[in-house]
Structure formats: structure tokens, C-alpha cells
Amino acid sequence: MEKRKGYPRLKWVVYVLIVIAGLFSFAFVDDLFLISKNLDTFASIYKEINLSYVDEVNTSKLMKTGIDAMLAELDPYTQYVPESEMEDFKLKFVSSEYDGIGVKIGARNGKVFISEIFENFPAQQAGMQVGDEILEINHVGLKEKSPDQASLMLKGPQNTPLDLLISRMGHSKPIEVHLVRVDIKQSSVPYYGLLAEHIGYIKLDRFQVNAAQDVTNGLLDLRKHKLNGLVLDLRDNGGGMVAEAIKLVNVFVNRGIKVAVQKGRHQDQITVYQTTAEPVDMHLPLVVLMNSNSASASEIVAGALQDLDRAVIIGQRSFGKGLVQQTINMPYNSLLKITIAKYYTPSGRCIQALDYAHREASGDATKVADSLMREYKTKAGRSVYDGNGIYPDIFIKPMDYHAITKVLINKDYIFDYATKFRSEVGKIGEAKNFRLSDADYEKFVLYLSTKDYSYDTPTELALSELIDEAMKEGTASQIKAELEALRVKVYHSKKSDLSQFQDEVRAVLENEIVSRYYFERGRFEQSFQYDKEVQEALKVVTNKATMTTILGGVGTYKIIGKPDGNFSDNN
């Protein structure tokens, strides 16, 4: 048990609560009395638990649990970050710069292995491969070590040596690898290149420090190819720094244009964000890709470019996170990330989809009803709506893998076979042209013949539920023949599924294999041929008439995402 004399943590708990109170309360006497009363109650309970509880108490863990429970009453984005989690927080939200060797690791069956290698960093330069199992780090065995512990051991001051002992498929003996840690700087743009002649593509996966500059650098490089159009990919980009989102919009629109408005709890807490610099290219035909995981800063960008009729948006409805967080330093090198405002697009719409202030009886946040969604106008007069994310100008039905593909991914059979393929095949052709031959695919099917990958299709699961209900109602015996006939009809053969859905399985397997040779760059280049959103973007951005029709709001493009009862389902 921690020492009883003094309770230093109470000081910063009080500080946390006062900060929250200061942000969300008027300084009325009644408010101050309630704050003082609640703090006194909280401190007294914490103190008595520490002094009197029958078993030994980890008071630090108890306090963290109490803080987390308190913040959970607000929204999922307001959170306390203790000193022990600060490094991970910075890597996720601020900058992905660290000192290490350039790998991602995972764990399976108590073993730690390389799950991804970053190109042009020590691990790749030393010949390490995805799928390598790490046995020792600086002569310390990894048995019983978690991926987080192993990751911490791999990191360290730059220019310091790192010795690894690894096991590799196809090698009978462990391999020693000697490396030196370096400064790992990962761009917010993991890939940019040409989709076709004179058509550029830039993938932005997070809004960290210098994100807008990373996009600008990629765009300037691509412009050497005399660009006629650009596809900006914000799919699965969960957001980040609002300032970077504003700068990114400024890359494509003129100086002095309103991009977003931030509104806090009180009337005086309003911030208008405008572009402040000259654009890089305000006339280049532009398509933005987004999906249901595009959130926050991604939605600021997509919403602004849509409201200003500057870009065609293709994909699925965005996540709907219209809340702004601010970080506040707390005592003992900790931090509070707190929601301080909502943001609004240039047309005036707030795209927040969930209301955390008014919850259901279950405690879940309420969704904005279709009837409450208001209409706004883009610069060209197109109708757009608030309260449910950013709806695309062109909706593309999202890819939904069949059950067999999902199970092969989840059981790591595709990952393992790609590792096996790499150990047996020294070289392959260009990533964008890589295809598995029929003979290669049959080898994969043969490989799976010794594996357990049983699964039920959605139809089989529904039939099982029907049989269970019939048993409960006592009617199963009466419809036994019908149920058995249904069972025979919906029964699937794993091998026939591998044939029926082989295009889908092939695409995933080919992409995994390519990553073993060409890393993340190869994944992108190989995936474009199967990517429905990219193919649609290519079709649109190369057709000036189509771009003009959509951005001008001609015909069906006059109204974007009108609530009709199916809005929340992306239909």
C-alpha cells in the first residue's frame, strides 16, 4: 500500500476538476459551492479507501479508474493521459517521430514477430522481413513479453546499437541481426504517385505536425508530370490537428476564404478559421475519397471543399465527428484532452452525428433524427445537410468481404502464406502488375487443406437462430423436414467458396505478398486495380464535363445526401 502521509495526487485531481469546471461553468456562488462540496466528498472517499479498505489498494490505479469513469460521462474524446502513456499519445496525435529501427510488431501464441517494415530504415536495410519472429533483443529473451514491452525495448536513443536474434521461415537456425537506432520520421503521406498519365494520387493518413506540408511536397513533385487532376485519399483518416486541416484546404483554395467556424459553450467562444496563404493550385481538378472512418480534421477538409464546390467527394458518408478537443497540461507530466467546441463548415452546418449531452436510457448517445437535419447551401447553391457527417457527391457501396476471406485474414493464413511465398520466391515483377497465376492460387488452396478455417455464413447463422427459436417454441419437430431441406440448401463447402470467391481472396493475398517485397508503397500500387473508389475517381477527374456537372449541381447533383430514412445507412 502507498504511504498514508500526504495525498499529493489529490492536489492534481482537484486541479483537473477545477480546469473542467472553469471551462464548463459560470463562476456563480452556487457553482463554486457545489464544486467545493463534490471535491471534498471525492477526496474524503479516496482517503478513506486508502486508509481503511480491507485489502491492499493500488491507489494510482484506483484514481485513474475514477477519472476515466468521470470523463466517460462526457464523450469518448475527453480523456486523461498519465505520464506513462504520454509517449504513445504524442505518436498518435502529434508526431510519429521516434528513435528506433523502423518496424511494427505483433504477437501470436506468445511469440513476438515483425508485422510491418518501413522502407529505407535500419530494419529494412539490414534485410529483416515481415514474419520474422524476434527471439531476443539485446540478449534478453522475449518469452512472456508483450508487444508493448518488446516495442519499448526496440526503441532507444539514436545512434545506439541494437542486437536482435530472430527466427525466419525456411531457416533452420536463428539469425543474428546487428542494427543502430536512428531517428524515425514518418510522413503523414505514406504514398503519392501517378494513377494514370497526368493524374496524381496522394494518400493522407493522419493530420499530424506538417501534414499539409507533406501533401504540398507530394503535389509539387507530381506537378512535374504536368498534372491534369488529383485524387486526395482521406479514407480511414481519423483526424488530428485542426490547424493542419485549415492549411490543407488552403493548398487548393485562395487566401482569405472561410474554411471552418469553431463554437464553444459561450457566445464569446467563437473562432473563424480562414486561409492565410497563397494556394498551391486552386484550379487543378480535385477528387477527395472518404469513408465511414474519415473523421474530425478529415471532415473539416472534405466539408470545406464540398461547400466551396472545389472538389468532388467520392466514397461513403464520413464518421460525423464535429467536436474539437484541446490539450491542457496537468501536474506530474500528465495531460487532459478535453472537448471545448463544435466546428461548422463554411455553409454553416455541423456534421456531429451523436449527441452526448442527451443520452438514451441505456446510456448511449442519441443520434440526430432525420427530421432535425437542416438544409444548407454550397457556394454554387447545392443542398447539403447537417447532423450526420459529410455525405459524398458520389456514393460507392463499401467493400464487404465474404466470410471465407474474413476468416483467412483473421486466422493469419493469408499473412503466413505471404511469408512462406517470400521465403521461396526471391523476386517478383512490379507491384502494380503482380498477379498470382492459377497454379500459384492452387498452391494456396493446397496449403489451406491442412488448416482449420471453419466458419458459418450469415445465412447459416440465421438458420441456426431459426432452429433455436423453433426448439424453444416446440415447433421444431413439426417442421423438421423443412429445416433439414433448408440446411442442405445453405450448406457451404470451404473448397467451393475458395473457388467461388477466388477473385476476392486473390486480391487480398496478392496485396499481402506484394508488401513482402515492396512494403507499404507496393500495397498502394497493387491495390489500385481492385479499388472501386479509386477507379471511380479516375473516371470522374479525367472528365471535365462530369466535374462541371457535379460541382455545378446539375440534375441529381443539386441535392447531396437528403435525409430520407436511409441516410444513416449510407444509401
**Of 223, 212, 211, 137, whose CA–CA distance to 179 is shortest?**
137
Q: Residue 6's pLDDT is what? A: 46
Q: Which domain holds residue 122?
A: 98-184
C-beta of residue 343 within 8 angstroms of C-beta of residue 350: yes
Q: Residue 468's pLDDT is what? A: 76
Q: Residue 490's pLDDT is what? A: 63
Mean pLDDT of 15-32: 58
pLDDT by residue (tens digit) across 27-40? 455 678 888 999 99
Last residue of a domain, one of 357, 375, 397: 397
Range name among 13-27, 84-98, 155-169 with the lowest pLDDT average: 13-27
Q: Residue 359's pLDDT is what? A: 77
For cell 496525435, what's the residue? 93
**Of 214, 198, 204, 207, whose CA–CA distance to 242 is shortest?**
207
Q: Please tell me whether residues 150 and 25 are part of one structural domain.
A: no
Burial code of 518-541, b = ≥16 C-beta within 10 A, e = fewer?
bbbbbbbbbbbebbebbebbbebb
Q: Please tell me whether residues 393 and 502 are part of one structural domain.
A: no
Q: Please tell me whether residues 440 and 504 are part of one structural domain.
A: yes
Last residue of a domain, one of 347, 375, 397: 397
- Residue 1 placed within a domain: no
Q: Residue 366's pLDDT is what? A: 80
pLDDT by residue (tens digit) across 37-89? 999 999 999 999 999 999 999 988 999 999 999 999 999 999 999 998 998 89
Residue 321 is a catalytic residue: yes
Q: Residue 491's pLDDT is what? A: 61
- Residue 451 placed within a domain: yes
Q: Please tell me whether residues 392 and 426 are part of one structural domain.
A: no
Q: Residue 3's pLDDT is what? A: 43
CATH number of the domain where residue 342 is located: 3.90.226.10
Residue 429 has pLDDT above 60, yes or no: yes
Q: Please tell me whether residues 203 and 345 are part of one structural domain.
A: yes
- Residue 371 placed within a domain: yes
Q: Which of 145, 203, 247, 321 is catalytic?
A: 321
pLDDT by residue (tens digit) across 324-377? 999 999 999 999 999 999 999 999 999 999 878 777 777 788 887 887 899 999
pLDDT by residue (tens digit) across 294-322? 999 999 999 999 999 999 999 999 999 99
- Residue 554 placed within a domain: no
Residue 264 has pLDDT above 60, yes or no: yes
Task: Give the list of residues 6+ apart from residue 192 with CB closer than 8 angstroms, or none.
Answer: 200, 201, 202, 203, 218, 219, 221, 222
Q: Please tell me whether residues 301 and 435 are part of one structural domain.
A: no
How many domains would you assign to the chain? 4
pLDDT band, very low/low/confident/very high, at 19 (cuts 50, 70, 90): low
Q: Please tell me whether residues 180 and 49 are part of one structural domain.
A: no
pLDDT band, very low/low/confident/very high, at 5 (cuts 50, 70, 90): very low
3-class SS of residue 456: coil
Mean pLDDT of 104-115: 94
Q: Please tell me whether residues 275 and 388 are part of one structural domain.
A: yes
**Of 357, 300, 289, 509, whose CA–CA distance to 421 is shortest?**
509
Q: Please tell me whether residues 223 and 369 are part of one structural domain.
A: yes
Q: Residue 571's pLDDT is what? A: 39
Q: Residue 1's pLDDT is what? A: 43
Residue 151 is a catalytic residue: no
Q: Residue 216's pLDDT is what? A: 99
Residue 13 has pLDDT above 70, yes or no: no
CATH number of the domain where residue 121 is located: 2.30.42.10
Last residue of a domain, one of 371, 397, 423: 397
Separation of alpha carbons 567 and 397, rounded Å: 13
Mean pLDDT of 406-424: 97
pLDDT by residue (tens digit) across 174-209? 999 999 999 999 999 999 999 999 999 999 999 999
Q: Which of 75, 307, 386, 531 is catalytic?
A: 307
Strands 323-330 and 229-233, sheet pairing:
unpaired
Residue 2 has pLDDT above 50, yes or no: no
Q: Please tell me whether residues 174 and 264 are part of one structural domain.
A: no
Mean pLDDT of 243-258: 98
- Residue 391 placed within a domain: yes
Residue 307 is a catalytic residue: yes
Distances in Å between the Cα of 13 and the Cα atoms of 41, 43, 67 are: 13, 9, 8
Task: Give the list of residues 6+ apart from residue 461 with CB closer than 8 angstroms, or none.
Answer: none
Mean pLDDT of 495-517: 95
- Residue 355 placed within a domain: yes
Q: Which of 188, 296, 298, 515 is catalytic?
A: 296
Helices (H), 175-294: 211-222, 242-252
Residue 436 has pLDDT above 60, yes or no: yes
Whether the model clears a pTM of 0.85, i.e. scores above it, the answer is yes
**Of 182, 186, 188, 187, whose CA–CA distance to 101 is shortest?**
182
Residue 96 has pLDDT above 90, yes or no: no
Tell me which amino acid residue 302 is: A
Average pLDDT, the chain: 90
- Residue 505 placed within a domain: yes
Task: Give the list of residues 6+ apart from residue 157 with CB closer than 8 angstroms, or none.
Answer: 99, 181
- Residue 556 placed within a domain: no
Q: Residue 215's pLDDT is what? A: 99
Q: Please tell me whether residues 357 and 411 are part of one structural domain.
A: no
- For residue 311, what is its C-alpha cell? 472538389
Q: Please tell me whether residues 204 and 118 are part of one structural domain.
A: no
